[in-house]
Amino acid sequence: MRRIARSLTAFALLAATALQPALACTGIFLTAADGSRVHARTLEFGIDLQSEVLVIPRGLARVGTTPDGKPGMSWTSKYASVGMNAVGKPILVDGLNERGLAVGLFYFPGSAGYMPYTPADAPKTMAAWELGSYILENFATVAEARAGLANVVLPAVVLAEWKFAPEVHFIIHDEAGNSVVVEPLDGRLVIHDAPLGVVTNSPRYDWHMTNLRNYVNFSPLNAAPIQLGPVKLTGFGQGSGMVGLPGDFTPPSRFVRAVAFSQAVLPSLLPTGREAVLQAYHLLNNFDIPKGVAREHEKDAHGNPVADYTLWTSAADLKARRYHVRTYDNSAIRSLDLMAQPLDAKEIRRFPVTGPEVIHPLAR
């Protein structure tokens, strides 16, 4: 019996670790000289989430999910939106809408404190993974979203595909350049102003902002030589202003790097939204996680290491209403113009992003 119990425990552990949610997502926000704003992010996970680009039309009827299976909040999409989904759901985990509002869902392990729930709350309730689409489909600005979230109950709801309630938080940007991070903390939704437009994962957002004070000496400018008695010390080369920049994949280190890199971008590199998108991809190259370098001690049911890797990287141009994505298997940037889509379509449009890398031969 003990052997059977141990086997069952091991099986449960493998099943859980095989579905470990994304631990290493990184989001940034860039502004171009022409007023374009770009929300860009990576998404990491231990297994392929089978993500697709979805176009959500206006007029789509929605019903939120509750912990007890009762129908949750109901709404009809006011604005069309485009972005990426996960596990086949008709819900966006990242995207933008026709009014230039962008939302990104990020994992928040060990930090989320979801709201209490009673059956009487059902008409105001939805699952955390539904909140991003709710925001995109109902609001045009950060201010509207902030006000609207006061009417939402966000409890812990089990995601059937994973058999647990994912812990997540969100970043919201609008075309005017406003940004907030929304976190379920201690039984309520806490909204933080996010003036730098950067987000990673745990711990809570205000901790990350305080942690930046440990790096006040960092600069994109090379460190000046120093004189120690008769000895003059100079740096070994370019980049000495950021010696000691944390280079690991933990959320605090990625947050610091994302702030350092996004704040160091030369304005001359960002004349329009197109260049801001391309620059965002260059910045997020520094957060790309190859398979195998960030993994658990346990293995999955097939004996393979459970390792996070960068499934896809997206960039949303809030002014052009254009969504861009590249994947782990294909580094070519593909894009979709939301405003060129039938925004009053009767159903959701799906665009697969699968396919291998294509190596093009040089030609004259």
pLDDT tens, 347-357? 999 999 999 99
Residue pLDDT, tens place only, 158-213: 999 999 999 999 999 999 999 999 999 999 999 999 999 999 999 999 999 999 99
According to the model, what pLDDT value does residue 91 have?
98
**DSSP codes, 74-138:** EEE-SS-EEEE--TT-SS-SEEEETTS-EEEEEE-TTT--PPP--GGGGGGB--GGGHHHHHHHH
> Residue 264 pLDDT > 60, yes or no?
yes
What are 227-246's pLDDT values in tens digits? 999 999 999 999 999 999 99
**How confident is the model at residue 304, as a pLDDT?**
81
For residue 4, pLDDT beyond 80? no
CATH of the domain at 120: 3.60.60.10
Give the residue-averaged pLDDT of 19-39. 86
State both tokens at 174. Answer: 């609008």
Q: Which residues contact 326 (CB under 8 A, 6 or more apart)?
A: 281, 312, 313, 332, 333, 334
pLDDT for the residue numbered 25: 96
Whether the per-residue pLDDT at 152 is higher than 90: the answer is yes
Q: How many domains would you assign to the chain?
A: 1
pLDDT at 256: 98
Does residue 18 belong to any structural domain of this protein?
yes
What is the band of 299 on the pLDDT scale with cuts at 50, 70, 90? confident
Please check whether residue 234 lies inside any domain of the structure. no
Segment 39-45 shows an average pLDDT of 97
Residue 8 pLDDT greater than 50, yes or no: no
Q: Which residue range is the domain that position 69 belongs to?
A: 13-215+252-352
pLDDT of residue 134: 98
CA dihedral 173, 102, 250, 182 (to 10 degrees): 60
Residue 5 pLDDT level (bands cut at 50, 70, 90): very low
Residue 23 is predicted with a pLDDT of 62
The more confident residue out of 321 and 18 is: 321
> Does 318 reside within a domain?
yes
Give the percent of the chain with pLDDT over 70: 94
Quote the Cα angle for 202-207-209, to 5°: 110
Q: Residue 292: its pLDDT value, please?
A: 87
The pTM for the full model equals 0.92
Residue 307 has pLDDT above 90, yes or no: no
Q: Using an 8 Å Cβ cutoff, are 323 and 335 in contact? A: yes
Q: What is the pLDDT of residue 297?
A: 84
Helix/strand/coil for 240: helix
Is position 247 within any domain?
Answer: no
Q: Is the pLDDT of residue 223 over 60?
A: yes
Q: Residue 16 — very low, low, confident or very high, per pLDDT cuts 50/70/90?
A: very low
11 falls in which pLDDT band (50, 70, 90)? very low
Domain-located, residue 360: no
Residue 6 lies inside a defined structural domain of this protein? no
Predicted confidence (pLDDT) at residue 28 exceeds the cutoff of 70: yes
Q: Specify if 290 maps to a domain.
A: yes
Distance CA(349)–CA(346), nearest Å, equals 9
DSSP class of 21: P
The pLDDT of residue 300: 78
pLDDT at residue 20 greater than cutoff 90: no
282 is written with which tokens?
């260059």
- The per-residue pLDDT of the chain, averaged, comes to 93
Confidence of residue 364 (pLDDT cuts 50, 70, 90): confident
7 assigned to some structural domain: no
